[in-house]
Amino acid sequence: MTVSSSTDVAMAQRLEALLARHRGWLLHQARCLCRNPADAEDLVQEAMVRFLAAFGQVAQLPDESVCATWLVTTLTNCFYDQLRRQRTRERGASELGQQERSVDPEPPAPALYDRISDEQFSSAVQALSPVARSTFELHARGRKYKEIAEALGIREGTVAKRLHDARSKLRKLLEPLVQLGDT
Amino acid sequence: MSAHCERVERFADGELSPDEAEGFRQHLLDCSRCQAELGNLLQLKMMASRHVERQPSGVQALPPRRSFPRWSTAAAVGFAFAAVLAVVLFLRVRTPRADPWLASEPERRLEMRMAIAAVDHHRPLTARKMGQDSPQGAKLPLEALTVLEREGDTGGMAAAFLARNDKNLADQAQTYLEPLPSTPENETLRAVALLVKGAPEEALRHLDRALEQNPTLPQALWNKGLALRDLGLQETAALSFHAVAQQGEPGWAEEARQRAEALHAAEQARIQRWQAIMNAGQELAAHGTPPSAAILAERSPILRRFFYEAVRTRTSREQVQALLPLARELDPRTGGGVLARYVERIAARDFTLRAPLVQAYTQLLQGTLPPERVQALIAELLRSPEDDLLMGALVHTQAVAGHLDAFEARAKASEDPWFQLIAFQERAKAQLSRAQEQEALQTIQSAHAICTSTPTEYPCEVVHLELAQIEGKLMRLDEAWEHAKQGWQQARAMNDRDQEPVALDLLARLAELRNNAPLARAYAAEGIYRRSSDR
């Protein structure tokens, strides 16, 4: 008994540490998506509650990158739910029937094996041109288009274009890997 | 698609004005395309953020370290003392009897480089093969070693053992290196010992540690090129030598440039040979044209795939019989005369009945058979005795899963391991789609058993990779690793450019699951290089 409760405690600590690590990044994304900071806070809160509901009872936490993928998927779904609730509220009670809709079943976490590995992602980034890569990495560090434009001495439109091209190229390089797992 | 759709990326990045953003949010609820795209973008952003977190912060900010010799403990005492010691040792090197690193020989015995200034001046590599040491060179300069030992130059002692390029002495070098701290120079020496012993995978781990601390250390880059080459990762090996060449060191830069060019050229030559074989194969399949003597001399197992197609698409007995010499040419690769028997069996068919089916089958291959006639053709073939056409049609239309029993019965009757292996692969695929991993594993293991008793090169290479794939899913990582490596080696041996990238991706994932990040990076980088240069 004591053994299981001590593993429970250790597990709870791991979960807490994991969520603490990701909270800042998730909040940054949520602020990009939501109408106001309060909505963004709600969104992250809900994603974390769902995460705990799914992983709070499991014996072993999956790999960090699997957890991250799962959190992002959940955040996205929660965001769509939030949008739907807002629309329902704004359009009045006529669509009240939808309000109590049950929470969507969560998508299964992608199998450990079927994802893009950290190493493959980094290799793909190395394959970008130096210009594309530096723009992409600055943005990944949380800089806004404007800040990047100033740092590199280019126009904001150019930043958007470079970022778009970098992402398209990465997806082209990585797509075969996503499909590989299904064969 | 509306104007909003084009704003999805700016929206995900929080770069729209409040009004535009609100407009986009309203649009988003009604556009499943944008919903999917936003999900993808957020995943990509997450991976990007994890990527920059993994980067050693400030690697670029570090001034490039000079590869100054590290006289182990002496260096800690102070630069002045180290310098004095270096002069003393330098003087000793000048005296002919004290040359512990064979630095005065006109040619170097070691292909690798060591990050010790007194050892690392460029001399051409000797043509003598490893282990063919002249007896006089094999003798260790005990006197010089005693001096090094007295001066506490453990790294220098290890280098003395390594300079002789002898597996047995490499063990001894490792013993000396073990207690030394993890400096770029020491890690490079550790990698040299492992390379001499023929362990490039482990060598890579140490080289990555060296390069993490000093990303431009030429000796580490050089040795990394060798390790990658030994793993069959030629293009990234070439890149590593290219990076050395750019540093412009006398002698080394030129040799590095030649090595980079040779590696790249060898890989390009492989691509051209493969192209030639594929072209010859397509000619064979389309017109029954036998490949040239030069192509046949390549003895590529890939040709067999096209041979079956050639027999299937001939419309008369004479045309089929004309393929008999080629069947005899290809048969010895697997033994047993399977292909010759196949040709004789088909030549004995009634072509008044077979020819119309052959025509429809040919249309199917060319994509000119109307889609509504595909099912009718398969139904007709199921009733006919033309087993080979049926199997071909099912594989082409990816319909084997729907007719698995029929396919297996005909594969068995063909007595050709080629088709039996395909049957096993298809059954495993069907089992995997139902998430029956254990059952799929057993199926592929049966296929693997055939491969060990009757090697049938092409399908067996795929079997190895599929076995590794399933074992990876089941987290049987050691077995998966062995099979993936076998698959990779077979793909390399056959020069199968279709399966090589599959093997590379698989090895990258498995290496990562086995917690070997440097190796995972190496395989991933070669795979990505190919994809980015293919276009």
pLDDT score of B161: 87
Residues of A whose CB is below 8 A from B32:
none
pLDDT score of B297: 87
Q: Considering Cα of B170, then B176, then B178, then B180, what sign does the dihedral take?
A: negative
Which residues, in sequence order, are bridge partners of residue B125? B108
How many Cβ atoms are within 10 Å of B368's Cβ, its own excluded?
A: 8
Inter-chain touch A171–B48, beta carbons under 8 Å? no
Interface of B with A in 478-517 (CB under 8 A): 501-502, 505-506, 508-509, 511-513, 517
pLDDT score of B477: 92
Residue type present at position B10: R
* Cβ–Cβ < 8 Å for B531, A120: no
Inter-chain touch B9–A160, beta carbons under 8 Å? yes
For chain B, which ranges sit under pLDDT 70? 1, 56-98, 128-141, 334-335, 455, 534-535
The gap from C-alpha B375 to its chain's centroid, in whole angstroms, comes to: 39
pLDDT score of B457: 72
| CA contacts within 13 A on the Cβ side of A98 | 15
Q: Considering Cα of B92, then B94, then B96, then B99, what sign does the dihedral take?
A: positive
Residue type present at position B408: E
**In whole angstroms, what is the distance from residue B419 CA to residue B426 CA?**
10
* Chain A nearest C-alpha distance from B244 (Å): 18
Smallest Cβ–Cβ distance between A140 and the set B51, B429, B501 belongs to B51
Return the closest-CA partner of residue B191 out of B224, B156, B233, B158: B224
pLDDT score of A123: 87
- φ, ψ at B125 (rounded to 5°): -75, 135
| CB of A75 less than 8 A from some CB of B | yes
DSSP state letter for A106: P
Interface of A with B in 38-67 (CB under 8 A): 65
| Mutation to test the B interface, candidates A65, A117, A134, most B Cβ within 10 Å | A117
| CB of A110 less than 8 A from some CB of B | no
Inter-chain touch A119–B512, beta carbons under 8 Å? yes
* Chain A nearest C-alpha distance from B527 (Å): 9
Smallest Cβ–Cβ distance between A83 and the set B11, B28, B46 belongs to B28
Residues of A whose CB is below 8 A from B38:
76
pTM of the model: 0.69
| Mutation to test the A interface, candidates B42, B53, B465, B515, most A Cβ within 10 Å | B42
Residues of A whose CB is below 8 A from B510:
none
pLDDT score of A7: 67
| CB of B529 less than 8 A from some CB of A | yes
Return the closest-CA partner of residue B486 out of B516, B509, B466: B466
| CB of A155 less than 8 A from some CB of B | no
pLDDT score of A63: 79
pLDDT score of B136: 43
For chain A, which ranges sit under pLDDT 70? 1-7, 92-115, 176, 178-183
A123: nearest CA partner in chain B = B525
Cβ pairs A/B, distance under 8 A: 138
Q: How high is the ipTM of this complex?
A: 0.88
Smallest Cβ–Cβ distance between A180 and the set B47, B505, B524 belongs to B505
